[in-house]
Amino acid sequence: MPRLVVKDMALVKILTKYYGFSIYGRHGSHVKLRDSKGHTTIVSIHNEQIKQGTLNAILKQTELEKEDILKYF
């Protein structure tokens, strides 16, 4: 699988627009997201690309795969 490069705000927009997540909190540079199934995650917003380990953790928390995100680019 090729490396997936995603900017932080792009990931937030994809999760909210296509996967039913909503922003339920924001503290400094962190955005808290939750969906109707109870999945929650926090995305750090620094206007840069998300590191691979962080992206993998976010995808694991939201039960999504890289292919799910890749189709919106």
Domain with 62, as residue range(s), is 8-68
Number of domains in the chain: 1
Residue 23 lies in a domain: yes
Residues 6+ apart with CB under 8 A from 53: none
Question: Tens of pLDDT along 17-57?
Answer: 999 999 999 999 999 999 999 899 999 998 889 999 999 99
Residue 38 lies in a domain: yes
Name the pTM for this structure.
Answer: 0.88
Query: Is there a contact between 41 and 61 (Cβ–Cβ < 8 Å)?
Result: yes
pLDDT of residue 1: 59
Q: Around Cβ 55, how many Cβ atoms within 10 Å?
A: 20
Give me the CATH number covering residue 50.
Answer: 3.30.920.30
Question: Tens of pLDDT along 50-69?
Answer: 999 999 999 999 999 999 99
Closest CA to 11 of 53, 52, 58: 58
